[in-house]
Amino acid sequence: MTGPGSSHDKTTADRPRTRLGEPVLILLLAGIAGLVFGFLLQKGGVAKFDILIGVLLLEELTVLKVMLSAIVVGVAGMTVLVPLGLITPQVKDTVIGLNVVGGVIFGVGFGLMGYCPGTAAAAVGQGNLDAITGVAGLIAGSYLYAMLSKPISNTVGQWGQCGNRRLTDILPLPGIVVSIGVIVLLVIVLAVIEMVS
């Protein structure tokens, strides 16, 4: 019952198989983790269209409060758990061209749709019907990218490849100093946000 292709579906040649990418138990845990995440997103107000557009209009900063406090807790946890060997960092390669160009394209889509991929799913669960249209767009856009991935990785994908080093590896400071510096900086930003809002 584990791994691709081991399910009991004896499909005909013209019917493509839908594979389980993981053992069922792992997928069950993924569902539970997603459920917790979705529950938190909705309770945090970030499944709401108005609140998501509000951050892009720089008028309602709940989204920043949620993201920055998640990062503060996460950085603090990493600082302790990585040296103890309890977490192995899972960092994607930095490719400046893709991160910048793809990031700006993502942002344009975010502004138009008003939800991001995670909060769109949460908005669907909450009952925002426009998010269902958005999810259809997300699926179509993913396929469109798959059609164009080759020319993109041969061009923009070549700009600024920096590997998967973390800030703690790059900066000429002890890792703990970098981590604490980031935490202090983000707490200051959160305090400023709290003061202006």
Partner 1 sequence: MTGALAVRALPGAGVHELPASYPYPEPAWSPYLVGGLIGLLTLVLLSMFSRRLGASSGYADIAGLAGRGIAPNHTNNLAYFRENPPSISWTLVFVVGIVVGAFLAAWTGGETTGVYLQNLWLARFGEDSLTLRTATSLVGGMVMAFGARMAGGCTSGHGISGTLQLAPGSWIAVVAFFIGGIVTAMLLYRL
Distance CA 100, CA 161 (A): 12
- Residue 95 DSSP class: E
120 burial via Cβ count (<10 Å: 0-12, 13-18, 19+): buried
Dihedral of alpha carbons 76, 80, 83, 89, sign: negative
Q: How far is the CB of 120 from partner 1 (least distance, A)?
A: 7
Q: Quick one: 18 or 172, whose CB is closer to partner 1?
A: 18
What's the closest the beta carbon of residue 155 comes to partner 1, in angstroms?
11
The residue among 146 and 196 lying less far from partner 1, judged by its C-beta, is: 146
Residue in 132, 137, 118 with CA at minimum distance from that of residue 46: 118
> Between residues 10 and 48, which has the closer beta carbon with respect to partner 1?
48
**Residue 57 or 196 having the CB closest to partner 1:** 57
Q: How far is the CB of 68 from partner 1 (least distance, A)?
A: 7
CB distance 18 to 5 below 8 Å: no
To the nearest whole angstrom, how small is the minimum distance from the Cβ of residue 163 to partner 1? 10
Burial classification of residue 17, based on how many CB atoms lie within 10 Å of its CB (0-12 exposed, 13-18 middle, 19 or more buried): exposed
